[in-house]
Amino acid sequence: MAELLPLRKSPTVAPAEPDPLWRHLAGDRLRRMRRERGETLAEVARRAGISVQYLSEIERGRKEPSSEMVAAVLGALGGTLLDLTAGIAEDLRAAAPDRAVHGVALSAGALALAA
């Protein structure tokens, strides 16, 4: 009869941390943009034409807003899609400076086009 060999344990590799969700990144950045302007949720929501509750949910990453909603909020903040995407890129670089973006250096313009 064949001899049974003990099963070798493979080296334990820590699972990679998952990438953050876009809605969390965008919400965090939109909140920062609003706070930098010293504005309340109510002020920005009124100008964007959305409810305070919905804006709060966007900022907390609870809702996945449509591109039209993102544009409305950015317009109410005096910002652009380029401001949002460039800010998110900065946040990602700061959070993981040693992590390459799939080996490609992206400009702010390329990030805006990707969004």
Q: Can you list the domains of the chain with their CATH numbers?
A: 22-114 (1.10.260.40)
Q: Is the pTM of this model over 0.75?
A: no
Per-residue pLDDT of the chain (115 residues; tens, 9 = 90+): 667 766 676 666 666 778 899 999 999 999 999 999 999 999 999 999 999 999 999 999 999 999 999 999 999 999 999 999 999 999 999 988 766 555 445 455 555 545 5
Other beta carbons within 10 Å of 28: 17
Q: Mapping DSSP to helix (H, G, I), strand (E, B) and coil, where does residue 109 land?
A: helix
Q: In the 8-state DSSP scheme, what is residue 21?
A: P
Q: What is the pLDDT of residue 96?
A: 81
d(CA 83, CA 37): 14
d(CA 12, CA 15): 9
Six token digits for residue 79: 């910002």
d(CA 66, CA 54): 12
